[in-house]
């Protein structure tokens, strides 16, 4: 059975190297920033102390990792919680964290070897019993948002204080990657029991930082965990995470010297930021992509020819240039080119070919201009621009685009009720690509809005992708899966969004990752 | 001390406010609920399933008829419970009490600026009617009313915070932590928020003062040889008091509910930014709580204005 252990993880040197590479990226073209990148690479001895001020764009839904629901929560959670399994920032390959190794003795059992000597911030030891308590809560808590992620889990067996077996109802090899996400964050069982419903406002993990306070909608403050198991870390005395919902305002606060880090910088602001002497930019490709779900259960887009026509009609390179400026890359599948599961053949299925698109529309029985397709999207300036671009491409091949728009919640509900033929929405990616395709295409998933079976072979391949565990075998299965999805043109991938972060010139060792989830716990501040 | 008569006014006003608050709460509750959008979708996690959405609906009672949900909220309210935020699980009353000081600080600060600025400009314009001061004051009032205040806010931040670094670009310091820093940090938002208030007070005060200065009793005073300065400050001010109180009351009521964009632009953790976030996320209880709070403020300001009328003009009594 495949096995992963600590020796397979990156060394500390590799992580620091990634930091230096991060700093070099960071440069992103500006001479001043490049100088900073070089300086950062030279200045590798971390400086201790100081309080980082890192702006996050949304108040967390809760600080209980297993009942929260917002992507931005991870910026807070990763400072206070360790996950059972972590990921390598560039490839997202699993690496040891609270679990030092994991093995599959049989396809329905995942055994985790746990790190010894780790304690939660409240002094409770981290052990197999704590892991069991966390999983049982994830499965039974009425507001658990990770129940679906660990749906395959039947029970947890404590084999030894540092050894635990996860027994599955059915084989699911995505589980190690699931444990790099929300379900992998471990809370103190003592704090969970004592604090009950208020735990989400007063969390206790094993992470580099301890929770201090959460001033709702204002800021979250954490301080150094003196008993942290990673020797010598963290470097910072604490982190203040001001909550500023407006990205432009957040950016201004970094330029004004009030804060050190601002997330989610708009690509349109890159030229202005490069002229600014106060900040450097971190630009890192992520799995987050702009795309459209298709309701392939009802006319007109239940006709494969029309879905293929739309995919041929869009010039993704031009779209990316207009929407993202000088960053980002065209997306032809849901897997970015640097990812291990990427398949070149699947990605080359739909080159920009308006003639082919027009022919397919005609073949489907529609005269030019006779086909009208409705797009659903949440109303904001960026989405409006994106829909305009798509509309102009579709117009050229004789497809008229109408739209249904409103607030995010309103349009989402309408989409669920069957309004719209495709919906423009970002896909944030999942640690394991099998989860992405299962969520997008399985008839049981809320994202397959019409609950239609796109192709039995495709469904079988998705199932197969969750049972195979050998890396080479999985890569072959994913190549087949990606090609099938493209053959049936079940989505409209558009472009990958980079993670753009503005950093004050004092910030060192900010390591962006392919998951696009900002983490601050390794950062240190230059003098 | 309030006279017996005024106590009667206060009691009557409070009784009159009850149905108004009930209607406001009902309308806002209904509008929020019948509008499209389902908070369960946002609460069910990053990757919701049909089952998890249904569970969330049942857990929070979103599957009950809307009137039952409203009645349940009113029943909680009557017991002093404003509920908990659906997003953060924080008690709504705590959330409002935590955020109100930041909003009150910028609103009160803006009112001081608007009152002083508007009074000076209005009186100067009326005293020098048709002159350069009048033209400048009326021109400013027209322009200030037309300018979007969030645009003014952006300009202020750009020049005074980013270029010259005189003020912080964003954020608020709690008044209880450091009053001086708190006022310093609130200066730019307060100026941005006060602009239209200055315009309104200038216009109203100028018109009222001109009316007073044109009235027969002022002619008599002039005929008796009273100086223009004495007429303006002694008799003019006394007679525009009611107008001034009215317009200040109106501007205050407008500002307390009008901090939404200012708070967003300056990243101030006040009730305005909380209302925007809650409305977007369909966080019903927070929206209801803040709307109730705003309604109470408007009611209190109107009551205070009514009572002050009687102080300034005994005929009102």
Q: What is the CATH number of the domain that holds A439?
A: 3.10.105.10
Residue A234: cis peptide before it, omega within 30 degrees of 0:
yes
- The Cα-based distances of A102 to A170, A416, B229 in angstroms read 18, 39, 89
B44, B50, B267 ranked by CB distance to A69: nearest: B44
Is A312 found in the same domain as A214?
A: no
pLDDT, residue B55, reads 80
Nearest CA to B263 among B119, B55, B101, B66? B101
Kindly report, residue by residue over A7-24, the tens digit of the pLDDT.
Answer: 333 333 333 333 333 333
Contact state of A148 with B52 under an 8 Å Cβ cutoff? yes
Instruction: Report the CATH fold assignment for B97-282.
Output: MetI-like fold (1.10.3720)
Nearest CA to A316 among A358, A356, A347? A347
**Computed over its alpha carbons, how large is the radius of gyration of chain B?**
24
Quick check: is A420 in a domain? Answer: yes
Q: Which residues of A touch B52 (CB under 8 A)?
A: 145, 147-148
Is A254 found in the same domain as A134?
A: yes
Q: Count of domains in chain A?
A: 2
- Minimum distance, in Å, between the CA of residue A199 and any CA atom of chain B: 10
Residue of A217, A242, A273 to mutate, testing the B interface (most B Cβ within 10 Å of its Cβ) = A217
- Please tell me the distance from the alpha carbon of residue B225 to that of residue A481, in angstroms, as a whole number: 99
Is A200 found in the same domain as A97?
A: yes
Kindly report, residue by residue over A108-129, the tens digit of the pLDDT.
Answer: 999 999 999 999 999 999 999 9
Nearest CA in chain A to B89: A62
Kindly report, residue by residue over A204-222, the tens digit of the pLDDT.
Answer: 999 999 999 998 888 999 9
CB contact set of A157 (below 8 Å; sequence gap of 6+): A132, A164, A165, A167
Q: Which residues of A touch B88 (CB under 8 A)?
A: 59-62, 201, 216
At A51, give phi and psi (nearest 5°).
-115, 120
Is A475 found in the same domain as A442?
A: yes
Q: Are strands A279-294 and A491-504 parallel, antiparallel or unpaired?
A: antiparallel
Calculate mean pLDDT across residues A129-153.
92
Mean pLDDT in consecutive groups of 10 residues from the start of chain B, 317 residues: 74 86 91 79 71 81 90 91 84 91 94 95 91 92 86 87 86 87 93 93 94 89 86 85 90 87 88 88 90 91 86 70
**Is the pLDDT assigned to residue A31 strictly greater than 50?**
no
Angle at CA A37, nearest 5°, toward A33 and A40? Answer: 130
A182, A253, A445 ranked by CB distance to B169: nearest: A253
- How far is residue B296 CA from its own chain's centroid? 11
Quick check: is A319 in a domain? Answer: yes
Q: Which residues of B touch A446 (CB under 8 A)?
A: 48-50, 53
What DSSP character marks residue A243?
Answer: B
Q: Are strands A491-504 and A329-330 parallel, antiparallel or unpaired?
A: antiparallel
pTM: 0.78
ipTM value for the complex: 0.71
Calculate mean pLDDT across residues A446-464.
91
Q: Which residues of A touch B265 (CB under 8 A)?
A: 246, 249
Is A509 found in the same domain as A492?
A: no
Sequence spans of domains, chain B: 4-78, 97-282
User: Could you tell me what percent of chain A has a pLDDT over 70?
Assistant: 92
Range of the domain at A267: 3-278+505-525
B45, B90, B94 ranked by CB distance to A69: nearest: B45
Which CATH number fits the domain that encloses residue A66? Answer: 3.40.190.10
Is A81 found in the same domain as A222?
A: yes
Helix (H, G, I), strand (E, B) or coil at A404: strand
Is A510 found in the same domain as A471?
A: no
Is A157 found in the same domain as A99?
A: yes
At B58, give phi and psi (nearest 5°).
-70, -40
Kindly report, residue by residue over A62-91, the tens digit of the pLDDT.
Answer: 899 999 878 889 999 999 999 999 998 887
Nearest CA in chain B to A405: B36
Is A326 found in the same domain as A184?
A: no
Quick check: is A449 in a domain? Answer: yes
The more confidently predicted of residues A37 and A231 is A231
- Please tell me the distance from the alpha carbon of residue B252 to that of residue B258, in angstroms, as a whole number: 9
Quick check: is A283 in a domain? Answer: no
Is A326 found in the same domain as A266?
A: no
Is A484 found in the same domain as A464?
A: yes
State the pLDDT confidence band at A194, using cuts at 50, 70 and 90: very high
- Please tell me the distance from the alpha carbon of residue A357 to that of residue A307, in angstroms, as a whole number: 9
Residue A102's H or E segment, with its range, is strand A99-106
- Please tell me the distance from the alpha carbon of residue A189 to that of residue A252, in angstroms, as a whole number: 41
pLDDT, residue A6, reads 43
Is A170 found in the same domain as A61?
A: yes
């Amino acid at each position: 059975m495949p096995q992963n252990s600590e020796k397979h993880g990156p060394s500390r040197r590799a992580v620091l190297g990634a930091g230096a590479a991060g700093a070099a990226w960071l440069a992103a073209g500006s001479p001043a920033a490049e100088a900073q990148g070089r300086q950062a690479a030279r200045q590798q001895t971390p400086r201790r102390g100081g309080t980082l001020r890192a702006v996050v764009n949304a108040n967390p839904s809760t600080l209980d990792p297993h009942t929260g629901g917002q992507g931005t929560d991870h910026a807070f959670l990763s400072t206070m919680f360790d996950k059972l399994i972590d990921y390598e920032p560039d490839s997202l390959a699993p690496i040891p964290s609270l679990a030092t190794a994991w093995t599959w003795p049989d396809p329905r059992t995942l055994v985790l070897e746990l790190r010894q000597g780790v304690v939660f911030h409240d002094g409770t030891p981290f052990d197999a019993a704590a892991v069991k308590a966390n999983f049982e809560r994830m499965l039974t808590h009425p507001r658990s948002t990770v129940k679906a992620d660990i749906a395959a889990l039947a029970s947890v067996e404590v084999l030894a204080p540092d050894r635990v077996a996860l027994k599955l109802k059915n084989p699911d090899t995505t589980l190690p990657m699931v444990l790099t996400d929300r379900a992998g964050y471990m809370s103190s069982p003592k704090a969970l029991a004592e604090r009950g419903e208020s735990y989400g406002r007063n969390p206790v993990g094993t992470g580099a930082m301890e929770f201090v306070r959460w001033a709702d909608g204002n800021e979250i403050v954490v301080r150094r965990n003196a008993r942290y198991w990673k020797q010598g870390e963290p470097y910072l005395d604490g982190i203040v995470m001001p909550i500023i919902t407006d990205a432009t305002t957040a950016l201004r606060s970094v330029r004004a010297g009030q804060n050190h880090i601002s997330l989610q910088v708009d690509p349109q602001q890159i030229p202005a930021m490069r002229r600014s002497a106060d900040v450097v930019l971190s630009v890192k490709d992520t799995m987050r992509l702009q795309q459209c779900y298709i309701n392939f259960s009802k006319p007109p887009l239940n006709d494969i020819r029309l879905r293929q026509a739309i995919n041929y009609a869009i010039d993704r390179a031009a779209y990316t240039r207009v929407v993202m400026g000088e960053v980002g890359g065209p997306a032809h599948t849901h897997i970015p080119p640097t990812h291990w599961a990427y398949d070149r053949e699947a990605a080359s299925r739909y080159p920009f070919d308006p003639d082919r698109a027009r022919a397919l529309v005609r073949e489907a029985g529609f005269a030019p201009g006779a086909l009208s397709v409705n797009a659903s999207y949440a109303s904001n300036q960026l989405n409006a621009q994106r829909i305009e671009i798509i509309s102009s491409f579709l117009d050229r091949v004789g497809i008229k685009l109408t739209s249904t728009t409103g607030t995010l919640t309103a349009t989402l509900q309408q989409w669920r009720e069957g309004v719209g033929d495709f919906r423009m929405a970002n896909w944030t990616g999942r640690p394991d690509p099998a989860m992405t395709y299962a969520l997008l295409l399985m008839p049981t998933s809320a994202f397959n809005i019409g609950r239609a079976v796109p192709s039995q072979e495709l469904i079988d391949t998705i199932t197969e992708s969750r049972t195979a565990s050998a890396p080479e075998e999985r890569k072959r299965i994913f190549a087949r899966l990606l090609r099938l999805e493209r053959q049936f043109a079940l989505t409209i991938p558009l472009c990958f969004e980079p993670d753009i972060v503005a950093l004050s010139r004092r910030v060192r060792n900010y390591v962006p990752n392919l998951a696009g989830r900002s983490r601050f716990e390794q950062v240190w501040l230059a003098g | 001390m309030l006279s017996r008569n005024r106590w009667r006014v206060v009691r009557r006003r409070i009784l009159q406010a009850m149905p108004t608050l009930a209607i406001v709460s009902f309308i806002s509750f209904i509008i929020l609920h019948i509008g499209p959008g389902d908070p369960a979708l946002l609460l069910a996690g990053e990757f919701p399933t049909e089952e998890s959405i249904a569970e969330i609906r049942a857990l929070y009672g979103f599957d009950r008829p809307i009137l039952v949900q409203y009645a349940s909220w009113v029943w909680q309210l009557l017991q002093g419970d404003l509920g908990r935020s659906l997003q953060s699980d924080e008690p709504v009353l705590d959330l409002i009490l935590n955020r109100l000081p930041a909003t009150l600080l910028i609103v009160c600060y803006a009112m001081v600026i608007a009152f002083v600025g508007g009074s000076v400009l209005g009186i100067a314009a009326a005293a020098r009617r048709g002159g350069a001061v009048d033209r400048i004051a009326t021109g400013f009032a027209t322009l200030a009313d037309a300018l979007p205040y969030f645009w003014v806010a952006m300009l202020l931040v750009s020049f005074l915070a980013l270029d010259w670094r005189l003020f912080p670009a964003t954020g608020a310091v709690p008044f209880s932590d450091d009053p001086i820093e708190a006022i310093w940090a609130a200066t730019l938002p307060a100026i941005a928020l006060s602009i239209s208030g200055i315009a309104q007070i200038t216009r109203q005060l100028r018109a009222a003062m001109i009316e007073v200065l044109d009235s027969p009793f002022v002619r008599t005073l002039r005929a008796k040889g009273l100086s223009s300065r004495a007429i303006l400050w002694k008799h003019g001010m006394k007679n525009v008091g009611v107008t001034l109180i009215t317009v200040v009351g109106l501007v205050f009521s407008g500002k307390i509910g009008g901090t939404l964009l200012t708070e967003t632009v300056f990243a101030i953790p006040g009730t305005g930014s909380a209302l925007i976030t809650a409305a977007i996320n369909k966080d019903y209880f927070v929206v209801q709580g803040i709307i109730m709070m705003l309604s109470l403020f408007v009611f209190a300001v109107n009551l205070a204005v009514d009572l002050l009328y009687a102080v300034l003009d005994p005929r009102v009594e």
